[in-house]
């Protein structure tokens, strides 16, 4: 299972997630601000299924997830890491 690290950003409602081994995209970036926008993107779609997720930004080397202010990171972060790990596991 890939190791996922979370880093703070200047925005307290966003965290940057990186993987020790693995890539989230081959190239370029993808940004989604709603579940409807993410409907055809497997990773973003799964992230939006987590309560409180408001924005997802995906690059080859990291994913930034922004959440609603009412959601605590201690609840959301393990779910996000689980989705990211499962996605990277499925890439093999």
Cα–chain center distance at 12: 15
Q: Establish if 92 belongs to a structural domain.
A: no
Q: What is the count of structural domains for the chain? A: 1
Q: Establish if 21 belongs to a structural domain.
A: yes
Cβ(19)–Cβ(82) under 8 Å? no
Q: Establish if 76 belongs to a structural domain.
A: yes
Q: Both ends of the chain: CA-CA distance in Å?
A: 11
pLDDT tens sequence across 45-83: 999 999 999 999 999 999 999 999 999 999 999 999 999
pLDDT at res. 49: 96
Residue 52: CATH number of its domain: 3.30.1370.70
| Global confidence as pTM | 0.93
Identify which has the larger pLDDT, 1 or 54.
Answer: 54
Q: Establish if 25 belongs to a structural domain.
A: yes
Q: Establish if 56 belongs to a structural domain.
A: yes
User: Residue 30: which domain range?
Assistant: 4-86
Task: State both tokens at 53.
Answer: 């997720």
- The span from the CA of 59 to the CA of 75, in Å, is 24
pLDDT at res. 91: 74
Identify which has the larger pLDDT, 61 or 91.
Answer: 61
Q: Establish if 91 belongs to a structural domain.
A: no
């Amino acid at each position: 299972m890939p190791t996922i690290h979370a880093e703070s950003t200047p925005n307290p409602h966003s965290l940057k997630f990186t993987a020790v081994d693995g890539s989230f995209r081959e190239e370029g970036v993808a940004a989604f601000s709603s579940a409807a926008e993410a409907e055809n993107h497997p990773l973003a779609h799964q992230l939006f299924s987590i309560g409180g997720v408001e924005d997802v930004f995906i690059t080859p080397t990291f994913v930034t997830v922004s959440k609603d202010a009412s959601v605590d990171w201690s609840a959301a972060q393990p779910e996000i890491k689980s989705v990211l790990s499962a996605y990277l596991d499925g890439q093999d």
